[in-house]
Amino acid sequence: MRVSERVDRLFTRALEQMREGSRLKVIVAGTRESLFGSSYRTAQEVPFLRDSLGMQRYMVMPILALLPAALAAIYFYGWRALAIIAVSYFFGALTELTFCAVRRIEITEGLLVTGILYPLTLPPTLPLWMVALGVIIGVAVGKELFGGTGYNVFNPALVGRAFLAFAFPVQMTNYWFEPFERGFGGFLHYAPAADALTKATPLMQMKFDHVTTSWLKLLWGNTAGSLGETSALLLILGGLFLILTRTIDWRVPLGYVGSLGLFSWLLWAIAPDKFPGPVFQILAGGLLLGAFFMATDPVTSPITTKGRWAFAVILGLLTVAIRSFTGFAEGVMFAILIGNMFTPLLDRLTLPRGVKGVRVE
Amino acid sequence: MGRRLHGGHYFPRFQGEPQEGDGIKEQPPPRRAIVFLKQGLCIKSQTQRRDLQVELSPLVEPGDRVKAGTIIARDDEKISTPLHSPISGEVIAIEERPHPGGGKAPAAVIEADGQDEWELLDHHDPERLEVEELQRILYEAGVTDGGNGGFPTQFNTSPAKPEDVKYLIIDGIDDEPYLRYNGTLLAQDVERSIAGIDLMRRALGGPAVHLGIGGGSRKLIAALRERAPDWLKIDPLPARYPQGDEEMLIRTILRIEVPPGGISTDVGVVVQDVAHVLAAYEAVYEGRPFIEQAIAIAGPAVSEPRNLRVRIGTPLSELLQPKDGGRVMLDGALRGLPVEDLEMPTLRNTRGVVALPGPVARLLAWSEPGFTKDSFTKAFLALPWLPKRADFGLHGPERPCVKCGFCLDACPQGLAPALLGEYAAHDLLDEAEELNIFSCIECGLCAYVCPAKIPLLEQIRAGKRKIWEAKG
C-alpha cells in the first residue's frame, strides 16, 4: 500500500515538528490512528484477536443508513438541505475539536452521527446561523459538558434541536414547505419557493384542523415536514439496514413503533373523531426517524435487553401522550429526551447477573 | 435435551489455520526438552482455583540418564499427576526458568541422546483390568490432569473423588480459532477414540458419557453414531465459541450450572478433551505414557500452518519461526499467553502455538467493504466462501464505552462485561461481585466484540484478583 505509507510518513513528519504533549499533537496523533484504523496499533493484552468492527465503522453505519433520507431531503427541499448538513458538520466538528484540544484528548467518532442526524430534524428554511448555533449547543452542552461521547445523558442531536425549539419557536414551527415532487425536483433548486409555504405538517393539520394526509403520501414523503423525517419508506429502509447489519438493536424500534401503535389504537378506538389512527401516527412526523436513529443511540439508551424494551415502551407512551394531550403536535423529540433520563434507572433495574439455570441439589 | 448456548460467536476459518483434511503430522523428538515441575488444573481460566497449582519435587538429578517416559517427578500427597521425561537422554539441569504463565518455575532440562528409547508402562490385558489397576495406569501414564477439575482417581489427581462423578463429557468441539483439531483427532481413528472413552468410563466406575461434537463433518458424526456403544451419547453442538468450555458443555448437554467460581468436578462432572482420551488409549493398550500430544502451529505469521504431534516440552523454536515482526502466543490468540523467548517449551496442556503479525498501516481500513473480515455484527460484507483475515488491531486510540451492548449479547454466561470491567477498573469491588464477576469464565469474547476495544477481559481478571487480595 504505497498511498498508506506516504500518508503515514506525512503524519510522522508533522508529528516530529510538534511539541511533546501539545494539544495539537494529541489530536493529530489520534487522527492518524483513526485514519489508519485496523492494525496501526495491535492489541497488547488478551484477547489478541479483535473484531474487525472498530468505532469508525460502527459510527459510519448510521450515516450510510441515513443517506437515502438525506438525498430525499435534497430532492424535496433543494440543495439548501445539503448546506444545512454541511454547516452542521463544520460547526459540530469545530466545537468537538475545541473541547478535545482543551482537554487534551483524542477526537472520537460520535460527531459523525450527530452531524447528520441533527440537520435532518430541522425545518428546510431555518437560517444557517441558527443551524450552527444549535449544533454548537448540542455538541457542547449535550455531550462535551458531560465528558464527551460515551458519557452524555441526552442525545446531542436532540439537545441542539430542543434548544432551537425553545429559542426560536416561530422559525422552528411555522415555516413548513410543500416539497418539490416533479422531475428532478429539488435537485434543480436551492430552496423551496416562497409560494410553497404551508405553515403546517401533517401532524399539525391533523391536530388543529382534523385534516388527514393519505398514507401513500406519508410513505413516499412528499409532505411538509423536517428535512429528513418525511419519507417513511426511506427511513424504514435505512432502519432495516441498521437492524440487519446488527448495528442497532431491533427491540428499540420495534418496541417504540409497536407501543406507539398500540396506545394510539386504544385512543382511536375510544374517540375516533378526536384522535388519529395508529397507522397515521406511525407514518407521520418524526417517529420513524426517532425510532430507528435516535432512540437507538447506544450511549443514551439502556444497555440491557429488558431495559431496551422498557425504554421503547416508555417512548411510545410519552409520544402518544404528548401528541394527543399537550399543545404540541409532535412529541418524538421530548419523548426521547425524557426517555433518556430513564436510561440509568432502567439499566440499574435490569442488570444481568448471569444465566439462571438448573443447579444440582 | 440440553439448552442453547447464550451469546457466543461463531469464528470462521481464518487465513493461517490448518485445513480440516490436513491431518496431523509427526514431529521428530526435539534435541532438548524442558519440563516444568509446576503443574496445575484450571489453566484456561487464569484466575480460578489458584490453589490447584502445585510444584512437584524432582526424582532425578542433573547427570541422571532417563528414557522417554521415565517418571521424573511425582507427588502422591498433593493433587497432581506424575511428570515424564519426553525424550531419552541426560538430565543436564534442574533450574528456575521463566514460565509461560508468568514468573519463574523450576524445570528439568533434558538433552537428547538421539536413541529415543522408551520406558513403557506394564502391559496388561485391557479388557480384564480392575478399576483400581486402570486408575493406576492412567495416573502413572500422566493422563489424569486433563480438564479444569482433573480426572478423579484414588491417587489424588483431582479435588473430586471417582465415586462422586455422575457424568463424563468428552470435548470434541472445534470452536476456538487456530486450535481446531478435535474433529481431526477423532476422525483419524474412531475405534481408538471410543475405546479410550470406554477406558475413562470404566476408570470412573461407569458414569453417563456424552461426546460433544461441534464443527466436525457430518461424516464424522455419522461414523461416531454408527460405532457408538449404548452407553455413549453423541451430542452434535454448534461450534460457537466458547461451546468447548467446560461450563458451556455442562450447561448445554446436561442443563447443570457450575456455581460461580466453581469447577466441573464440583457438580459431579468430569470433562476431558479428545487428546486425553487418545492418551488413555495409548497408555493402556500400548503402554505409552502421555508424552506426545497434538498441537496446532498456526497464525498469519506462520509460513506453513499445520497440526503436529510433538513431544511435550519441545522448545517453540523447533516448531516455528514467526515471519518478521510476529509475536508468538501459547494456546491461541483469544486467551493465550504471549511468549517472548522462543526457548519456552510446550506444556502438557498446550493446545497450540499461534504467531501473530506485527502492526500494519492500512489507510481507511474501516471503509473497506470487508469481504474477508470477521465481525460479531454484520457491518462487513463478508463473503462466506473466502477465508477470513484475522484482525489484531485496536482501530485507533482508546475510546470510552458507548454502551452498544455487544458484550452483553456475546457473553456466554449472560453477564454484563462492560459494567464488570468498569467496576473493576474503578475498584468498585462489591458492585462487581454483586454482578457475579466470578461467573466469568474468561473466554474473552467481550473484549473481542468491543468496538471501543476496551480490554474487558484484563479488567475483569484484575478485578477478580483485587477481590481475592481484599479477602486475603
If pLDDT is split at 50, 70 and 90, which confidence band does B42 have?
A: low
Q: What distance in Å separates the CA atoms of residue A108 and residue A151, rounded to the nearest whole number?
A: 12
| Whole-angstrom Cα Rg for chain B | 22
Query: Per the CB < 8 Å rule, is B457 touching A46?
Result: yes
For position B195, what pLDDT does the model report?
95
CB contact residues (below 8 A), chain A span 27-46, against chain B: 29-30, 33-43, 45-46
- The neighbour count for residue A314, using CB atoms within 10 Å, is 22
Whether residue A322 contacts residue A331, with contact meaning beta carbons closer than 8 Å, is answered with yes
Tell me the shortest Cα–Cα distance from A358 to chain B, in angstroms. 5
Q: What distance in Å separates the CA atoms of residue A251 and residue A309, rounded to the nearest whole number?
A: 6
- The predicted complex's ipTM stands at 0.91
Per-residue pLDDT for B251 more than 70? Answer: yes
For position A361, what pLDDT does the model report?
38
Tell me the shortest Cα–Cα distance from A361 to chain B, in angstroms. 9
- B1: Cα separation from own chain's centroid: 26
Q: What is the pLDDT of residues B91-110, one digit of tens each?
A: 999 999 988 877 888 999 99
Q: Is B237 on the interface with A (CB under 8 A)?
A: no
Query: Per the CB < 8 Å rule, is B416 touching A304?
Result: yes
Residue located via cell numbers 474487525 = A52
Query: Per the CB < 8 Å rule, is A37 touching B401?
Result: no
Per-residue pLDDT for A358 more than 60? Answer: no
If pLDDT is split at 50, 70 and 90, which confidence band does B363 have?
A: confident
For position B49, what pLDDT does the model report?
65
For position B381, what pLDDT does the model report?
92
Mean pLDDT, rounded, for A10-37: 81
Question: In terms of C-beta density within 10 A (0-12 exposed, 13-18 middle, 19 or more buried), how is residue B26 classed?
Answer: exposed
In this prediction the pTM is 0.92
Three-state secondary structure call for residue A273: coil
Per-residue pLDDT for B27 more than 60? Answer: yes
The residue among B284, B246, B281, B290 whose CA lies nearest residue B265 is: B246
Mean pLDDT, rounded, for A340-357: 90
Q: For residue B370, which residues of chain A lie inside 8 Å, CB to CB? A: 52
Whether residue B45 contacts residue B437, with contact meaning beta carbons closer than 8 Å, is answered with no
If pLDDT is split at 50, 70 and 90, which confidence band does B8 have?
A: very high
Looking at domain A55-350, its CATH class is mainly alpha
Nearest CA in chain B to A8: B361
For position A26, what pLDDT does the model report?
80
Q: For residue A304, which residues of chain B lie inside 8 Å, CB to CB? A: 405, 408, 416
Mean pLDDT, rounded, for B308-318: 94
For position B1, what pLDDT does the model report?
46
The residue among B123, B177, B222 whose CA lies nearest residue B333 is: B177
Q: What distance in Å separates the CA atoms of residue A299 and residue A117, rounded to the nearest whole number?
A: 15
Mean pLDDT, rounded, for B289-316: 93
Least CB–CB distance from B378: residue in A38, A245, A355: A245
If pLDDT is split at 50, 70 and 90, which confidence band does B47 have?
A: low
Whether residue A72 contacts residue A234, with contact meaning beta carbons closer than 8 Å, is answered with yes
For position A131, what pLDDT does the model report?
97
Per-residue pLDDT for A352 more than 60? Answer: yes
Q: Domain segments of chain A: what residues?
A: 15-52, 55-350
Question: In terms of C-beta density within 10 A (0-12 exposed, 13-18 middle, 19 or more buried), how is residue B240 classed?
Answer: buried
Of chain A, the percentage scoring pLDDT greater than 70 comes to 97
Helix ranges, A245-291 (H): 251-270, 278-283, 287-289
Query: Per the CB < 8 Å rule, is B452 touching A55?
Result: yes
Amino acid identity at B263: I
Q: Is A9 on the interface with B (CB under 8 A)?
A: no
In order of their start, the domains of chain B are 1-24+120-357 (no CATH), 393-471 (1.10.1060.10)
For position B236, what pLDDT does the model report?
92
Q: Is B78 on the interface with A (CB under 8 A)?
A: no
Q: Is B4 on the interface with A (CB under 8 A)?
A: no
Per-residue pLDDT for B172 more than 60? Answer: yes
Q: Is B317 on the interface with A (CB under 8 A)?
A: no
- The neighbour count for residue A348, using CB atoms within 10 Å, is 11
Interface with chain B: mutation pick from A355, A358, A361, highest number of B CBs within 10 Å: A355
Residues with Cβ < 8 Å from B237, sequence gap 6 or more?
B5, B173, B212, B213, B214, B243, B249, B252, B253
Query: Per the CB < 8 Å rule, is B379 touching A29?
Result: no
If pLDDT is split at 50, 70 and 90, which confidence band does B221 have?
A: very high
- What interhelical angle do B417-425 and B456-471 show, nearest 10? 50
For position A360, what pLDDT does the model report?
44
Q: What is the pLDDT of residues B318-330, one digit of tens each?
A: 998 888 778 899 8
Query: Per the CB < 8 Å rule, is A4 touching B255?
Result: no
Nearest CA in chain A to B14: A49
Per-residue pLDDT for A38 more than 70? Answer: no
Query: Per the CB < 8 Å rule, is A358 touching B377?
Result: no
If pLDDT is split at 50, 70 and 90, which confidence band does B51 have?
A: low
For position B452, what pLDDT does the model report?
92
Peptide linkage before A68 cis (omega within 30 of 0): no
If pLDDT is split at 50, 70 and 90, which confidence band does B43 have?
A: low
Tell me the shortest Cα–Cα distance from A281 to chain B, in angstroms. 29
Tell me the shortest Cα–Cα distance from A180 to chain B, in angstroms. 33
Residue located via cell numbers 490436513 = B22
If pLDDT is split at 50, 70 and 90, which confidence band does A164 have?
A: very high
For position B2, what pLDDT does the model report?
56
CB contact residues (below 8 A), chain B span 355-374, against chain A: 356-367, 370, 373-374
Across the A:B interface, residue pairs with CB atoms under 8 Å apart total 258
Q: Is B101 on the interface with A (CB under 8 A)?
A: no
Whether residue B332 contacts residue B352, with contact meaning beta carbons closer than 8 Å, is answered with yes
A218 vs B21, residue with greater confidence: A218
Q: For residue B176, which residues of chain A lie inside 8 Å, CB to CB? A: none
Please list the residues that pair with A42 across neighbouring strands: B393
For position A107, what pLDDT does the model report?
81
Average pLDDT along chain B? 90
Q: What is the pLDDT of residues B110-133, one digit of tens each?
A: 999 988 999 998 877 888 888 999
